[in-house]
């Protein structure tokens, strides 16, 4: 993936990832705070400072390893903490916190598309905005996959019957390895069609 990119294109991708990741995580924290849980706020996660959301392994070391091995970055931000006992509306409150992150990426994609189609840019800025839009559409779709620890799992959990909730809770410690494995074997390739569909519906 990165092998065919120029230095400037890689910089655009990194900046886009940082902006998208920071807003995604800060939105989780902000919605949690609005729903009565101050856990993330007390941890300083309602912040646009990237350092507040960077995990040394998942945000820094893991993408370096996957770029070297697979020419593609795989990374995650530091999880936003929340206390389910303090969140309004119980499990549904938890679902609202979870879905807020992907929705922030959808909003960023919409804003990027509006800017791209409303103003005249040179080829570099137009390409940079296109990268930003596609990245955020991809983050919106990917994070809604209902596999722990992705946000979609928390949404599913709120509406799932108790046996499925227990199964999801048991699977959660291994969820990231499942996601990682599926990415490596191309198990999420069908998501490209959904991402393209989302992009096509943007302004």
HEC sequence for the chain: CCCCCCHHHHHHHHHHHHHHHHHHHHHHHHHHHHCCCCHHHHCCCCCCCHHHCCCHHHHHHHHHHHHHHHCCCCCCCCCCCCCHHHCCCHHHHHHHHHHHHHHHHHHHHHHHHHHHHHCCCCHHHHHHHHHHHHHHHHHHHHHCCCCCCCHHHHHHHHHCCHHHHHHHHHHHHHHHHHHHHHHHCCCCCCHHHHHHHHHHHCC
Distance, CA of 111 to chain centre: 17
pLDDT in tens, 18-61: 999 999 999 999 999 999 999 999 999 999 999 999 999 889 88
Instruction: List Cβ neighbours of 24 (8 Å cut-off, separation of 6 or more).
Output: 77, 101, 102, 104, 105, 139, 143
How far apart CA 138 and CA 181 sit, in angstroms, is 18
Confidence (pTM): 0.91
Name the band, by pLDDT with cuts 50, 70 and 90, for residue 70. low
Catalytic residue among 9, 25, 91, 162: 25
The tokens describing 16, both together, are: 């886009």
How far apart CA 2 and CA 70 sit, in angstroms, is 9
Name the band, by pLDDT with cuts 50, 70 and 90, for residue 2. low
Give first-to-last CA distance, the chain, whole Å: 27
Catalytic residue list contains 25: yes
Average pLDDT, integer, range 4-9: 81
């Amino acid at each position: 993936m990165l092998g065919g990119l120029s230095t400037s294109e890689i910089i655009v991708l990194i900046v886009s990832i940082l902006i998208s990741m920071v807003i995604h995580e800060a939105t989780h924290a902000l919605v949690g705070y609005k729903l009565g849980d101050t856990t993330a706020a007390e941890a300083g996660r309602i912040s646009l400072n990237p350092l507040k959301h960077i995990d040394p392994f998942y945000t820094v070391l893991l993408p370096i390893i996957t770029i070297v091995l697979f020419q593609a970055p795989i990374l995650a931000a530091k999880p936003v903490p929340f206390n389910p006992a303090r969140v309004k509306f119980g499990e549904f409150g938890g679902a609202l916190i979870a879905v807020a992150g992907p929705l922030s990426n959808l909003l960023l994609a919409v804003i990027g598309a509006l800017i791209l189609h409303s103003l005249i840019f040179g080829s570099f800025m137009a390409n940079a905005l296109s990268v930003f839009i596609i990245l955020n559409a991809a983050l919106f779709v990917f994070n809604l996959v209902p596999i722990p620890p992705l946000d979609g799992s928390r949404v599913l959990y709120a509406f799932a019957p108790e046996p499925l909730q227990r199964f999801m809770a048991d699977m959660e410690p291994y969820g990231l390895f499942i996601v990682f494995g599926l990415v490596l074997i191309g198990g999420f390739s069908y998501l490209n069609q959904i991402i393209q569909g989302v992009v096509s519906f943007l302004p």
